[in-house]
Structures are given as structure tokens and as C-alpha cells.
Amino acid sequence: MTKEVTLRQAGGSVSATLPKDMADRLRLDAGDRVLAIETDRGILLTPYARETERALRIAVKAAKKYRHALRALAK
């Protein structure tokens, strides 16, 4: 499902509000944490999970370590 979301100024940050029906389907409540992942296609918001955050840290470390090999494989 795709929904348009308006960004708003919130102190020194910018915030987005999820529509209630989307938050309900994703079982998200006010105060819950989500991960914002920058991708080549945009921003991916996913419910926060320690395992996901840990896996992303490992993936970033591996991508940095093997960046030359990954670039060569991408050709």
C-alpha cells in the first residue's frame, strides 16, 4: 500500500505522520520505534527489531570491507 505523507518541522528535526489505518495494520503505536533505511530507491521504514539493526550493522561493515570486490561483481 502506498500513502502520501506530509513532512513537518518538529524542533530541530523533520517528522512524518503515518495514517491511522496503516499504523494499525503494522501494529504500530505512538512511541514505537522504527528504523529508517536509506536505499537507492528512497527511504524504507521498518518496525524496529534489535536483530534487524544488528544485521544491518554487520552488512554495512561487510560492504565497506569488500567494497572493491562488490563493485567488480556489480559490473
Tell me the pTM.
Answer: 0.54
Task: Quickly list DSSP for 36-74.
Answer: EEEETTEEEEEE--HHHHHHHHHHHHHHHHTHHHHHHHH
**pLDDT at residue number 1:** 76
Q: Cα separation of 72 and 11, whole Å?
A: 43
**What is the phi/psi pair of residue 5, to 5°?**
-125, 135
Sign of the four-CA dihedral 14, 20, 25, 30: positive
To the nearest 10 degrees (0 to 180), the angle between helices 50-65 and 67-74 is 80
Instruction: List the chain residues with pLDDT less than 50.
Output: none
Q: Where in the chain are the domains?
A: 7-74
pLDDT at 45: 86
Architecture of 7-74 per CATH?
A: Ribbon (2.10)
pLDDT at site 8? 93
